[in-house]
Amino acid sequence: MEHTERILKILEERGATGYQLSKATGISNSLFSKWREKPTSKVTSQNLQLIADYLDCSVDYLLGRTDNPEVNK
């Protein structure tokens, strides 16, 4: 599963929208539309960190390095 697919999946699971994520992170809402159309679109490491912080999950989860979305604190 591509990282953008994981982002969209966790947004759906948590009842959040790309628009809400966009507002909270400052990432362009049009970028989320692009991900829906082409889930293989690249995401910068800075944006991955912003998204992980907003979704309260690990970057490793978003990258598919683990299936555990929990942040190790």
19-61: pLDDT as tens digits: 899 999 998 888 878 877 876 667 788 989 999 999 999 999 8
The domain that holds 36 is classified in CATH as: 1.10.260.40
Beta carbons within 8 Å of 68's beta carbon, 6+ residues apart: 58, 61
Residue 57 lies in a domain: yes
Instruction: Quote the pLDDT of residue 70.
Output: 78
Domain count along the chain: 1
Residue 11 inside a domain? The answer is yes
| Residue 73 counted as domain residue | no
Residue 28's domain comprises: 3-63
Answer yes or no: is 71 within a domain.
no
Are the C-beta atoms of residues 26 and 51 closer than 8 Å to each other?
Answer: no
Angle between helices 3-13 and 29-37 (to 10 degrees): 110
Q: What pLDDT score was predicted for residue 29?
A: 85
Predicted TM-score of the model (pTM): 0.81
